[in-house]
Structure 1
């Protein structure tokens, strides 16, 4: 018995919702194409969990529609929607075995040892795990069991509610990649909700940034990170270096020199956005001089706060596989790549 894809396209049209006088979602429109993964990322209180509950059918929006494959399911009860859910803690039943959890919700004719084994193998777990209890599994294994259970009914879309947040860093990355492989191999449409920017950027085909209940931007991860809609979005998605500049003929003149722009910007004063990894650290005499004010060594990379010589501006720099910088050290700074200019 195979687990075939029944992937559906999800479309949210002008979703708004309030709790009393507090509006948590403002006119949110978003499309998740069939067979792709979309990550909704935002800080606590941004409305992302409310949006997920609306998609799942646990919450009715004040305005707007939820459409699955073009069909309006806004008023459809949760149990009648072809949607699977993987909760933050997995949501496994502690009194049932792994096999019992996986088969829960399956049609009676499919509650077989062979079907359970097939679903466990789909998420890279041995069939022998079917007899174990959930508390005999690691956190990552429990999340895989939860995914197997959600996939068992061949839903049109899978909802992932911060499913990796309770795991430690190493296990979180391994589990995320395992889930990603399963979703891609089955062609399942997935909607992930997370507050972790790195997780959103590395997991999804599309990243949607939700702030204060408003969808600020949605697009491919490289576009969201490299060409954010505004400075606030840029700063939420990762460390940002923002410098005063003057734009003319496709370049910005700033304290680090002349930087070509990747966006169209009018002539005049502007805020120039760079990322710390774009500022290369050189020996004095190469580029603009700077004084190291603070430095941190993480093994895989080194970060430092550097004050630009003769200026009050300070920039954060990041170097991969580099020796740690010394506080008080004088260095040269050079910009690589292009920047993005925004109105001041």
Structure 2
């Protein structure tokens, strides 16, 4: 059965419920196909919930222009319920994040992002605008504004704002529990990034450790802590964190092997570094990391003078995008020159 073929879609229930289910199981392509079929019905074109969910799916696959088009339709629609008002507020926030984060660089627009955030905040301050979750939505609206401050280089202001919002979110955690707690981690991660850019390493480390305590098995945060220690030249503490990930049995194998490769490369143990970098390269299925893992492996082979191996790998490998393209090309050319000399 071909993925997303007509035959496959015919076996799927065409409903908004199924669209949400496929979004939740990380299959945005099938969700989008369902959504596009639903939008062929005239009444569905006015369904703000459907437009909002479909926009989330488009953003998740990088079709940010399609997402923006649907979200603009939502915010310019007339709401008839509290739920639809909440969808409109959410759409303003996603539009802002689209212009701050998701769009390609040429389409990003910080002024538009601020306009969307300010309009949403204005609506939430209006007592005539029915909304049953004003406090939470207002906190995350200002989280978006903190990103604008960060991008403008006003990092201390962003830190102050994020700290204020972390205080404000605490009563909501006690009231609503885990869902709000998850969003606290977003505020903390943004705070961590602020401390990093200001080179406040103690504050950054403390914030990241708080994150891990809140979301103990989150692999991204744990690998971020490894990277933090390695970037701070604290190799041994980074290795301790790698070992902890292994003990928890939650490791991402290619990523883990790549970090181990870095550790042993810095320890000047090139044969062991090569082994780990080879494991990362050969088992990776993430196109975004492919060039990085290829470069690391080739670099170690070059340091070991294994030029024939570099030549063999270069004939079989392919690059994904332009990341490290020049550096990989230079390594291959240097290796070829060494073989000819």
TM-score by length of 1: 0.28
Question: TM-score, length-normalised on structure 2?
Answer: 0.28
Give the number of the structure whose residues are more often helix, by fraction.
Answer: 2
Higher relative contact order (CA closer than 8 Å, sequence separation 6+)? 1
Q: Which has the higher strand share?
A: 1
